Structure formats: structure tokens, C-alpha cells
Structure 1
Amino acid sequence: MNLAFTNVTMKSSPAAAAATLTGFRSLLLALVALSHSAVDAGDERPNIVVFYTDDHGHADLSCQGVVDDIRTPNVDALAKNGVLARHGYSTAPQCVPSRAGLLIGKFQSKFGVESNVKSLDGFDRELTIAERLQKAGYMTAQFGKWHLGPGPKITEHGFKHVFNQNSGAPFAANIALDGSDREMSTMRPEMYHVDGCSRAAASLIERYKNVPFFLYVAYRAPHVPLDAPQKYLDRFPGKMPERRRQALAMLSAVDDGVGLITETLAQNNLTEKTLIFYVGDNGAPLKIHKLDAPGGGPGWDGSLNDPLNGEKGMLSEGGMHVPFVISWPGRIPAGQVFEHPVSALDVAATAAELAKIESKPGDFDGVNLIPYLTGKQKEAPHEFLAWRWVAQSAIREGNWKLLRGGDREYLYNLKNDLEEQQNLAGEHPEIADSLREKLTRWASQLDPPGLASGGMSKAATDYFDFYLDGKPAAPPRQTFVPRSDSENSESKSKDSASRWLIRSGKMKVTSEGLQLESQTPAGQKTPFMTRNGLSLFGPVSISMVVKTATSGAIGFSWRTSADKDFAAANRVNVAVETSGQWQTIRTSLPSRSKIIHVRVHVPAGTTSIKSIELKPASGKTVTLMQ
């Protein structure tokens, strides 16, 4: 047919031949477009969205039915339209290893990322699920917390687009809030970090609605520093610990983000073409005492692990039994409560299978969950789940769990004792022996091999003593109280290198935070807090939650290791208005030298400070309480 068509064209007049060729090209273009359209229409590979929360306790989804102060209607809707995994597990009780395991889909100790302090060289050598999906034609994007190396390097791990906002400080990004491209560089925040990530993710859905996409939305919530805006705090009035209010507010922001993203999917007819996971990275840090310390810095993050025993930093249930929801309307039957244990490792394995990515034995330690969630396969997805984290190791097979911490060993029947209150190792030594043998065999393939690597830390020992052995808790560390000018000079000299001091005013600790008041007549010296003995390598990002009875400016001045005194040029001011509401102010100290001394100047009258965060370019963050 093509030959005959060509012959007719060649024998025609030049004008007729040209017209015929033009028609032929148009026909070819139409056929190509039609073929592409048919391919797209027949591509049943789903979009994949992974919501990953940070230090989010098991209790804190309202669909869990554990506590009644939490409100998460949008995540509840995911569970109602899909599956609430009653026994969902993270891969570790700590941030870095759990994230590495999730993204690679293989237990992280196999490539050397067992804890936060381990090298990331092994992670860098592995293929992330984003890399695999990108090669398979997916658009891939990361939002929020990364914690696996420098933000600008995230694109080297398979993410085309990056929006690495996880605080009020500048962050790495190669897209704007509207989803448009920008050169990878530092971007100043325009929205609260949770809201910014949600908005950017929704924008990319609009941009890429016609191609398969993978969104990794890793909110830094409710991890400290607790920094919820007032509009979210106002949703939780009434008497409660302020840290609890902050956690509820931050999780409400996350829930709003889930709602924005799922609504955007619906508006683009993508609901039934999108598989969604909602998973926590590890349990909440309680610090045993759940102190409601002023400010939003280190300590209890306000989230709850109820009814589970233990907390972040433990392989007890409270440390890594996390919120876990899966939704794919039209493909996964709605309203399920799945009772078999599942793992964050299953996310990558499921995504790879659905994206039709070829894998080799050993590429993934998880399984494709879809046949189990649709009822095609009735058995449990896993024969057992196992963990090793520093000096702790654990295995769960069915309802039985063996937990080891240093030289201690515990056996629990989680069907009857999910709270891990009854150690049955003495009553069922044969079960303990069988589980220990399987755990030992599994641990032999880790790097380094074996059940544990060293003794437990002081913190872990205290946790095991209290949660698992029932010993009284040691009294909490004395609550930090800043010192004032009126205290004796010996104490000031002793503590001035490590604590905030007050000058030209008085300071007291209240239920809301710190309250500063002027002590000199109006128009004379205004109060300021000062902190010496620092080691902050600039630029230093500052976030401060404050309310003041007097309009004016909050000033931040600094002295470097090369300065003998405070130079007038080394000060930045941020305007504040009189308000009974908390205001979040953000700025930065532009010094590139090591900052050793900082002053925070406040207007005359009364100023309340809920939190301060001084975040250096490198080194330890300084907060109100540290």
C-alpha cells in the first residue's frame, strides 16, 4: 500500500504531489498521536503517594480509636476508603535508618545505615525506589524532611523535583510553590513548612496529571521544634499540656495537607489511579516523664504511643509500631482493618511490582501488599518481621515477639499483651529458643553480622528499666530556668557560658514559656536575653515564637570569635506588633564566621517567648531550653 501511494505521488503534478505529501504527513502524525493515546489509556500503572510523618505516635490518628483529642478527618477518609493496618511497623526506632529502609526497600543494616550516626555511603550506593520508578517513566518528587545527606543532592537519588522545606529556615528546592521549575538553590520559606510541602505537591499533581508520578511527602511533624502556627493551635482550645496542643496542631496541619493532595487528585480524576501510603517513621519520644517544658525544643514532642509500651529509641512496640494506612479506591476494598503485620519495607516492593519494574532476588525485603489487601492471598504477608538497632534486636512471628536489649531478653504474646507487660520467656522457653534461632540466622546477613553491636546506651538502659522491667523512673533533669541580673555573680559566672541570662529586666517561667519585663523607666534600656559560649557557624537561621504588649522590634545581635565587643553592624531587627496572639518571626544572622555570643533584644514592657531556635549552617541547634 505504501508503494502504490508513493507511485501515485511521483506521477502527479508537483502541486498535487505536495498536497498529497502534506496529507500523508498529517495522517502519519494522527496515527502516531492515536497510538500514544492508546498506550496512555492502557497504562494501568498507578500513581504512588507516600506520606511519611516524623516522631508520630501510634495513638495519634483519630481512626485508631485510642484517644479522643486528635482530629485527622482526611487521613481517616483514607482508612475508610482503604485499609487501616493495625500492626504497621517502621524499620527502626529512629529517623535516618527508618528513612533509608523505606526508600531502598531493604533492611538498612544490610547496607550499613543502622543508626543516625552511621555513614551514608551504603545508602548512596543503593538504588532508591525513586530511581527505579524514574527509570520506568515516573515523574518523581521529594517534599519535606530528607535526613539522608545534603538537600541539593536529593536529585542524585532519583527525585526529579525537590522541595526540601522542613522548618522556617531557608531550604533546598528546584521547584516553587506553584510547581514551576527553578534552579536548585536555597529558597526562603513562603509558608509554614507543612503547608508549603502540601501546596508544592498539589501543584505538581496539576502539572503532571497526565503521566504517572511518585510523590514522597515527608512532613517534619510532629517532630520538635514544635512550631505550629496559631491557626492550627486555635483548633485545640482548653486545658492540656502545651506540648500536646502543639503536636495536635502540627498533625492537624499534616491532615489538611493530606486533604489538599487528595482533593487535587479527585479534581483531576486521579483518585482511582493513585495508591496512597500514610506511614510514621518511628514512635513518639516521651522522655519517660512527658515534661511539658516551655518552648518547642528538645524533649517530649507532645505525641502519644498509647496503648503501646516504650518510645522512640526502643524496639518495644512504642518505638516502631506506627500509624499505617493504605488507600487505592476501586482496587483495594474499602473499610478494612488489616490485622497481619506489615512493614515500611513493603512500600518499595509494592510500588516496584505495580510499576512493572523487574527486580532481582535480594533487591527488596518487603512484599507487594496488594494481593493480600484485595483478598487474593489469605495468608500473612510475612513469615516474620525482624529488626536490629544498635544493641537491641527483635523478631515478631505471628503473635509472638522476642525482644533483646543488651543482655536482657523478653518474650511477649502480642495478641493478649500488645502493651508488653508480661514477659513470658520463662514460661515458654521453647518459643523463645525458636525465635532467637530465626533472629540469629536473619541477623547473620547484616553488616556487621550478629544480634547486636555493643552495649546499650544510658538512655536505652533507663528506658528498659522503666518500661519493661518496672523500675521507678529516675527523677527528671531539673527544669532549666534562665538566670537574671539579680542572682549572685558566682552563679552567673559559672553558668554564663551555657545558659540564657536576662539583662535590664526580669524573667520568669510561665505555663506558656518565658516572660520578660522591663525594669528600667520607659525610654531607657530595654530588656535583652544573652547567651555566651556558643559555637555557631553561620549563616544562622532564627525562628522565634513571641507575643508582646508593645509594638517595636525584636533585635538579634551577635559577636564572633574575632570580635572583642558587639559591633553595631552585627544586628538584625524584625518588626513586631502588639498582639495577644503568638507571632512567629524568622530571620538569619548573615555572619560566615563562628558566632560565640548572641543577644535577643525585646521591646519595653512585657514580652512572652514560647520558643527560640538558632540553627547554624553546621553544628548543634540552640533552643530556648538548650
Structure 2
Amino acid sequence: MSDGPQSSRLTRRTLAGAAVGALGAGAAAASASGPAYAEQPFRAVARGGRTPRPNILVILADDLGWGDLSVYGAPRIRTPHLDRLARDGVRFTQGYSAGAVCSPTRVALYTGRHPGRIKGGLAEPISAPGPDNGIPPEHPTLGSLLKDAGYATAMVGKWHGGFLPWFSPLKSGWDSFFGNYSGGLDYFSKWAGNGYDLWDGEQQVDDPRYYTDIVTEKAVGVVRRNARLNQPWLLNLNFTTPHWPWEGRGDKAVSDELTARLKAGDSRALFHEDGGSLAKYEEMVEDLDRAVGRVLDELRRTGQDRDTIVLFQSDNGGERFSYNWPLSGEKASVNEGGIRVPMIVSWPGRLRGRQVDDTPVYTTDWTATFLELGRATPDAAYPLDGTSLVPHLFQGRRVPERDLFWRTRGGRALRRGDLKYARLDGVDHLYDLRADVREQADLAKKRPADLAALKAAWEAVDATLLPYPA
């Protein structure tokens, strides 16, 4: 395979009514939103010498759908700050989460490995405390490996890697943590399915304000504090927005009702199945955008932006109010709508802005990338499953061909090139994503040899993972 510059189809976005080539693999979508600039095919900046060690800011949204940003074609939602991040960097059209729900993707990001390599990665998601339901403190992580390489490490927001007393970010390599341990919590009361869930490290704290505001304030404080450091830093900023319950900052009464139901024993109250709306979801996503903007503004104000690589992505596909068109499926599904997510990377001065990249990339690729950029050495006893994107992003090389793998209790998928094998509801399917990103034309009977090859490849990876408990 050639090591020349990565080729990519030109994607052009203009103002209202323009066509948006947002899907990659030959597909396109129409949108009434979008920035007034043309995106160019990705090309690495030609620079001599070794890429310097950057600060690393990883921002996760929670249950944000593939098309929920205006830069990804949302017809109603406006996200100017994330659009600006894309304008200043590279927008991936085929970015994938490693899991179809929250905690498996986070386990993959933190460890750089398939979720099924540890017991904690088998929960979909981690919802109950227990000694097996988390990332073991002895397992190397992005936090611990970068810390060993001289980085200051912090996490703000949603951990979802296991509960105290067995697991916490502080036990897994992060110097500081402020946030929640569970998957979802009420934005005001901070009650979750297992009780009150707002923590400074391993101590509970009280703050009745809207949670997105608290997370943003704490992250801005970390960025400000890091400006005084004489060492590079890692900040994992994990918003719960726009995960249910469907509450904006003016919805304290909704919070009171849901929290009362939760305390009275209604274990599904926070799922908010009797609430929410498209308008409320739009409000929450736009609030997320403003929050990210505040953090990015602090990065610029403190003069750290040119020394910091920023990754923004969702932890999995969107839920009931998301805009995923033309993808099929949603959160918890191995269809594209459950695993293909918005993904943007920016590093001013090192990556050209206004670029679009159709390369399929995957959660664990970013773990490998950040470890290489930070000159951290992975532990040979815990080999990574991702591929570092450093040669691609900074030297213009193609990402080596490899399979992308997903496994859930209810489904399986493997992507090889443009072909995707998926088992849905117990039935095996084969799709050509270049021609059929919506996964409606099943080629399983037409191309049985390809189906068999991808199925065998999936089973070979699966054989190396822990089985799901009965």
C-alpha cells in the first residue's frame, strides 16, 4: 500500500441549502446549516523533525448522534463552537466508537483495548457496584501510561469505569477527578440509580447547580491551572450531555419530580421515557456546544491552544431524539447509527484546518495515537487493539488496512474496507457501506464468500475475548 498522502473526496459545505458531503464512502446528505467555508481533503502538514509532545484534551459527549452537530448536517441544531473546532482542524466522516453504549467505549478509550478483554467491559453498561464491574487498578490506562511519561492527568465529568471502593480514576492513573461514577444522573439533584453521585476524587460533594455548568466550570479551572505547569497534561472531559434525563437548566421542577420517583423506588425514572422532546434535545445539544466553547476559549486565553491536541467525539450513537439520517439504528445497535459518531480533531499549527477525512477510525486508535504523541510506552502484557494515527495525521501515510470489530450481547459487526458484516436479531448480514450507508441492501446471499470471510474474522477476534456471563 502506498505511503503517499491520504486521498479523500472533496467535501464542500456552504450556507443554507447547500449539499453536505458528510458521510464518506460515497454518500451525501442535505442540510440547511453549515459553516460558510469549503472543506478540503485531508493532507498532513509537511514538517521536519519529531512531532513535539502536546497537551491532550479529550472531550466526550454522551449519546450524541452522528448528525446532531450543524457541521455534520443537523437541520435545526446550531453548534458554532464545535463548528469552529472543525474549521480549525479535521472532521472525520467515518469515526466510530468502540462500543454501542456508554461504558464499553470508555473502557476501550481508557485501556486502548477491546472492551471484552476485561470483565468490566462486558457490562453494557456498568450499572451496579461490584469487584468485577470496572477497570482493575493494575491495568495500564491512558492516564497511568501518560502519567508515567511525565504528564499531569485529570478527569472531569463521567467516569463510568466502575464504582468505589474498587474502582476510580484516582486508582487508574488520573491525578485528580471531579464528576460522577455512574452512567446517567439527574442534572440537578445528582441522584443516579445507585444513589447520590457527585464526587471530588473519592469524597462526595454537594452542588445543586445544573451539572453541565459544574463540569464546564471545573474543566475551565483545570485548563487554567495547567497553564502554570511545567509539564504536558492530559484532561479527559466527559460531559453527560445530552444523555437523559431530558433537562435543561430551567427544568428544576422536572428534576424534582424524577428524583422523587427515583427515591420512591422507580428504577427507570431517569430513563425519562415519559418526557423530553425534539426542542428540549436541541436545547441540550446547543448547551453542550456553549460549554465546549467555554473550555476552548480558556485554552486560547491561556495561550495553550497551539500546544494542545483536542479530540471531540461521542461515546456512541444517538438515542431517541437524535438526528442520524441517513444512518440506520441508534444507541445499543451495531448498525451505523449506533456506532458511527461525530469526531473532530484539532491542533493549530500541526494540523491544517478546514479539512475532512473519510478514513475509518476507531476509539482505540486515539488511545494508541495519544500514547505515541506523549512518548508513553504501552505495557507489552496488555497489547493495544488500536492503530496509532500519528503516521497518518503528521506524515500523510495511509492508515494500514485492518478490521474494525464490535461485539454486544445482542449483536456483532466487523468492517473490512467498505464491507461490513453484522449479525442483527440472530441473522447474518453483509453490506457495502460505500454504496449503501443506510444498510438496507443485504448482500449476504449474493456474496457468500465475503460474508464467510468477515464472519470468520469476527469469530477469530471473539475467541480472544472473555465470554459474556450466562
How many aligned residue pairs are there?
A: 376
The aligned residue for residue 429 of structure 1 is 448
1:345 corresponds, among 364, 371, 377, to 364
Residue 285 of structure 1 deviates from its aligned partner by: 2.4
Match of 2:437 in 1: 418
**1:434-465 deviations in Å (ceiling 9; x for gaps):** 211211222221112xxx888xxxxxxxxxxx
Alpha-carbon deviations, 1:400-444, whole Å to 9, x = none? 101013530111110111011110111111211221121122222
Give the one of 224, 227, 235 matched to 1:215. Answer: 235
Identity between Structure 1 and Structure 2 (%) = 30
Q: CA, structure 1 residues 370+149, in 2 after alignment: closer, same or farther (shift >3 Å)?
A: same
Match of 2:457 in 1: 438
Q: 2:64 corresponds to which residue?
A: 56
Separation in 2, partners of 1:173, 1:121: 17
Q: Does 1:356 align with 2:375?
A: yes
For normalisation by structure 1, the TM-score amounts to 0.57
- Describe the superposition over 1:187-237 as per-residue Cα deviations: whole angstroms up to 9, x where unpaired: 222532112111111111111213311111111111110111249xxxxxx
| Pair 1:148 & 2:161 matched | yes
Q: Which residue of 2 aligns with 1:131?
A: 144
CA distance in 2: counterparts of 1:125 and 1:394, whole angstroms? 30
1:96 to 84, 95, 103: 103
Is 2:196 aligned against 1:174?
Answer: no
Amino acid in the other structure paired with 1:136: A
* CA deviation profile, 1:358-382 (whole Å, cap 9, x unmatched): 12455311122132123520x2344
Cα distance in 1, alignment partners of residues 401 and 206 from structure 2: 44
The answer for unaligned runs of 5 or more in structure 2 is 1-49, 127-131, 191-196, 252-274
Task: Confirm or deny: 8 A CA contact 1:195 1:253 kept in the other structure.
Answer: no
Contact 2:51 / 2:373 at 8 angstroms: preserved in 1? no
Kindly indicate whether residue 277 of structure 2 is the aligned counterpart of residue 243 of structure 1.
yes
Higher relative contact order (CA 8 A, sep 6+): 2
What is the Cα deviation at residue 354 of structure 1? Answer: 0.8
Comparing 398-407 and 77-86, the one that deviates more: 398-407
- Give CA-to-partner distance per residue, 1:162-184, whole Å, 9 cap, x none: 11156323544438xxxxxxxx5
Q: Does 1:191 align with 2:209?
A: yes
Offset of residue 120 of structure 1:
2.1
Correspondence list, 1:393-472, <5 A: 393-405=412-424, 407-448=426-467
Matches within 5 A, 1:54-93: 54-65=62-73, 67-93=74-100
Change over 3 Å in CA distance of 1:193–1:381 after alignment to 2 = farther
Partner amino acid, structure 2, of 1:334: G
Q: Kindly indicate whether residue 322 of structure 2 is the aligned counterpart of residue 303 of structure 1.
A: yes
Q: Is the 8 A contact 1:221 1:251 kept in 2?
A: yes
1:7-86 to 2 correspondences below 5 Å = 44-65=52-73, 67-86=74-93
Distance 2:135 2:154 in 1: 22
Q: Distance in 1 between matches of 2:148 and 2:396?
A: 29
- Normalising by the residue count of structure 2, what TM-score does the alignment of the two structures yield? 0.75
Cα distance change, pair 444–157 in 1 and its aligned pair in 2 (3 A): same
Instruction: Give the Cα–Cα distance (whole angstroms) in 2 for the partners of residues 195 and 346 of structure 1.
Output: 30
Q: How does 1:528-567 map to 2 (within 5 A)?
A: none
CA offset at residue 185 of structure 1?
A: 2.2
User: Match of 1:35?
Assistant: none
CA distance in 1, matches of 2:243, 2:78: 18
2:312 matched residue in structure 1: 278
Q: Distance in 1 between matches of 2:198 and 2:91?
A: 34
Instruction: Report deviation, 1:254.
Output: 1.4
In structure 1, stretches of 5+ residues that fail to align are: 1-41, 176-183, 232-240, 287-301, 455-626
Q: Secondary structure at the residue paired with 1:164? A: strand
For the Cα contact (< 8 Å) 1:101–1:108, is it kept in 2?
yes
1:338 Cα deviation from its structure 2 partner? 0.9
Distance 1:101 1:158 in 2: 15
CA distance in 2, matches of 1:330, 1:346: 22
The partner residue of 1:258 within 254, 274, 292 is: 292
1:93–1:282 contact (8 Å) kept in structure 2: yes
C-alpha RMSD of matched pairs (Å) = 2.3
Structure 1 residue aligned with 2:4: none
Equivalence for 2:331 = 312
* Partner Cα distance (1:242, 1:406) in 2: 28
Q: Helix, strand or coil: the match of 2:170?
A: helix
C-alpha separation in 1, matches of 2:407 and 2:366: 20
Residue of 154, 168, 175 corresponding to 1:160: 175
Structure index of larger Rg: 1
Name the residue aligned to 1:586.
none
**1:150 CA displacement:** 2.8
- Counterparts in 2 of 1:249 and 1:151: CA distance versus 1, 3 Å: farther
Report if aligned partners of 2:145, 2:377 keep a CA contact under 8 Å in 1. Answer: no
Aligned partner of 1:523 in structure 2 is: none
Residue 171 of structure 2 aligns to a residue whose secondary structure is helix
The question of whether the paired residues in 1 share the 8 Å contact of 2:140 and 2:379 is answered with no
Query: How far 1:55 sits from its partner (Å)?
Result: 1.1
8 Å Cα contact 1:272/1:329 also seen in 2: yes
Q: Note if 1:370 corresponds to 2:370.
A: no
Conserved 8 A contact 2:54-2:232: yes
CA distance in 2 between partners of 1:172 and 1:156 (Å): 17
* Residue identity opposite 1:447 in structure 2: L
Cα deviation, 1:63-93, whole Å, max 9, x if unaligned, reads 112x220111111111111111101111111
8 A Cα contact 1:341 1:382, kept in partner: no
Greater per-residue strand proportion: 1
**Could you report, residue by residue, the CA deviation over 1:100-141 in whole angstroms, capped at 9, with x for unpaired residues?**
111111001112312326642554442221111122221211
Contact 1:342 1:381 in 2 (8 A): no
CA separation of 1:407/1:227 partners in 2, compared to 1, >3 Å: closer, same or farther?
A: closer
User: In the alignment, is the contact (CA less than 8 A) between 2:327 and 2:438 conserved in 1?
Assistant: yes
Corresponding residue for residue 228 of structure 1: 248
